[in-house]
Amino acid sequence: MDRMFVFAKPSLMVADPELIKQILVKDFHSFRNRPITKDNHKITSKLMNYARNDDWKRVRAIVTPTFSSAKMRQLYAPINRCCNDFLKSLDKDVSNGVNEVELKRLMGAYTMDVMASCAFATKTNTYADPNNPFITKANNVFSSFIWKTVLQVTLPTFIVNTSIFRRIVMTNYSDVDFFIDFARSIIKKRRDNKEKHNDFLQLLMDVERPEGDIREASDANEAHHVNEGKDEMKAYAEAFTGVLEKKLTEDEILAQCFQFFGPGYESVAITLSYCTYELALNPGLQDRLYEETKEAFNEKGEMDYEVLSRLPFIHSLLSETLRNYPPTLRLQREAMGDVMLGDTGVKIEKGVSVEIPVYAIHHDPDYYPDPFTFNPDRFMPENRDHIQPYTYLPFGSGPRNCIGMRFALLEAKLVLANISQKFLFSRVTDTDVPVIFTNGRALCQAKRLVVGIQKR
Ligand code: HEM
C-alpha cells in the first residue's frame, strides 16, 4: 500500500489481493465511481466509463444483457466475416512479397473493421483504403481521448475546471460528431424503414432490462478467471437494485456505441499484437496453437462458437498475453465516503482516489514465478488453481469490470485460430527483444512490434 499525490489529488495505491477485493467487491457501494472528470459534450459525457452514481448504475444495468454469451453468439457471424476479409487481404499481401509486418498496424486494421461492423453496421475496407475517413477520424478521436483523459486526471482540479482548459483541450469534438451524426442517421433509417440488423446498435435499440438478475446463467461459464463466489454475487446483486428504467435514450445509445468502439478497438489490437509477437519468438507455442485449432475446424473450414470458447490452449495463450501485457496498466476507483481499509488502520477519506497497479501485480514473483517469462501453461486447466484470487486483473473485477470481456475474447480467439492455420510468424532483425515500451500511464504500448510472416 502506498500513498501518493497525482499532482494536487491525494491517491492511494493498493496491491494486496484481500484489500483489492474489499475495494472492487465487498465495499463496492463505497467505490462505485472512477475519479475521472466528466466532460461537457452532449454525447461523450454519457460514456459508461465516465458515468457516476445512479447514472452509471442505470446505464450498466440496461446495457449488460447486450453482452451476454447468448448475444455474443449472435455477433459471431459478423465477426467471422471480418476475420475472413482480414485473412484474404493478408494472404494477398504475402503473395505479393510482404514478408514483415508491424503488428499494431496490422491488428488495428482488423479490430477497427470488427468494431465498425459490430457497433456502427459499417464495412470500413480498412485494408485497401487506410485513408478512409472512418479510420482516420477514429484514430484522431481515440489517440486524443487518451491524452485528454491523462490531462484531466493528472492536472490539478483548479486548472481542469477553468473555462480556458475546457475550451482549448476538451471541446475539439468535430471528429466525435462525425461518428455521432453517422450513427444517428443509421438509427433514423432503421426506425423509418423498420429495418433490423445484427449489431450492437440494434441490440442497444432493442434491449429492455429484464426483471431480476441482469446476467444469464451461461455467462458464468465464460468468466475468464473472474471470481464468481458468494461475495461477488452479492455485490453484483446489490449494485443494480432499484433500477426502474428499462430502456436507454437515443443519446445514451449513441454514447455506448461510441464507447465500445474506442476501448474495443484499441485494447483488443494491443492484445493481439503482443500475442502474435510472442508466437513469433516461440515457435513451439505456434505449433501448439496450430495443432489445437486444426482439430476444431469442421469440414467447411468453420469453427463453432461453443468449440472455440472451450479450447484450453488458445485460452491460456490469451490469458498469459493479458497477464504479461495488460492493456490497462492500472484500475481506478474513488471513495464515495470515509472507509477503513481492512484491519490496516488506514482510513481512505471521501474523494480520495485508489489505484490498483495491475501491471505490477501481474509481474510479482510471489504470484507468478519467473514473471517476465511468457508461459501460457500457467493458465492451463491443471494449473489454474495456483492463481491467487485478485492477482489476475486484465479486465478489472467486481460489478464495474470490463463489460466487453466476452466480446474481446471472442474477437481475439477467432482471428488467432484462423491466422495460425495459414501463416507462420518469426523473429527478424527489426523485432525488438525485449519490447521497447513507450512512456504512458494509461495503456501498455510498445514503440513498434515488427515480426516476419510467411505462408504455412
Ligand atoms: C482485451 C481487450 C480489453 C481489455 C483488456 C479491457 C480492459 C478493461 C478494463 C481493465 C476496464 C476497467 C475495469 C475496472 O475498472 O474494474 C474496462 C472497462 C470497460 N471496457 Fe474493456 N477491455 C477490453 C475490451 C473491451 C471491449 C471490446 C469493449 C466493448 C465492446 C470494452 C468496453 C468497456 C467498457 C464500456 C468499460 C467501462 C465499464 C464500466 O465503467 O462499467 N472493453 N475494460
> How many whole angstroms from its chain centre is CA 132?
24
Residue 4 pLDDT: 62
Domain that holds residue 125: 2-455
Give the pLDDT confidence of 72-120 residue by residue, as tens digits.
888 899 899 999 999 999 999 999 999 999 999 899 889 988 988 888 7
Answer for the pair 275, 420: CB distance below 8 angstroms, yes or no. no
| Ligand 1 touching residue 263 (CB < 6 A) | yes
What's the 264 CA to ligand 1 centre distance in angstroms?
7
Distances (CA, A) of 28 to 214, 221, 316, 399: 18, 23, 29, 8
Question: Is pLDDT at 161 greater than 60 in this prediction?
Answer: no
- Total domains in the chain come to 1
Per-residue DSSP letter, 210: P
Give the pLDDT confidence of 200-258 residue by residue, as tens digits.
888 888 876 666 655 655 555 455 666 678 898 889 889 888 877 778 888 888 888 87
Grid coordinates representing 421 are 492455420
What's the 365 CA to ligand 1 centre distance in angstroms?
26
| Ligand 1 touching residue 303 (CB < 6 A) | no
Closest CA to 392 of 279, 223, 221: 223
Write the CATH number for 393. Answer: 1.10.630.10
Residue with CA at minimum distance from ligand 1 atom 24: 264
- Tell me which amino acid residue 94 is: V
Structure-model confidence comparison of residues 161 and 13, the more confident one? 13
| Ligand 1 touching residue 268 (CB < 6 A) | yes
Give the pLDDT confidence of 293-327 residue by residue, as tens digits.
998 998 888 898 889 989 999 999 999 999 999 99
Q: What are the phi and psi torsion angles at 173 (to 5°)?
A: -110, 15
Least confident of 11-15, 285-289, 441-445: 441-445
- For residues 164-191, average pLDDT: 72
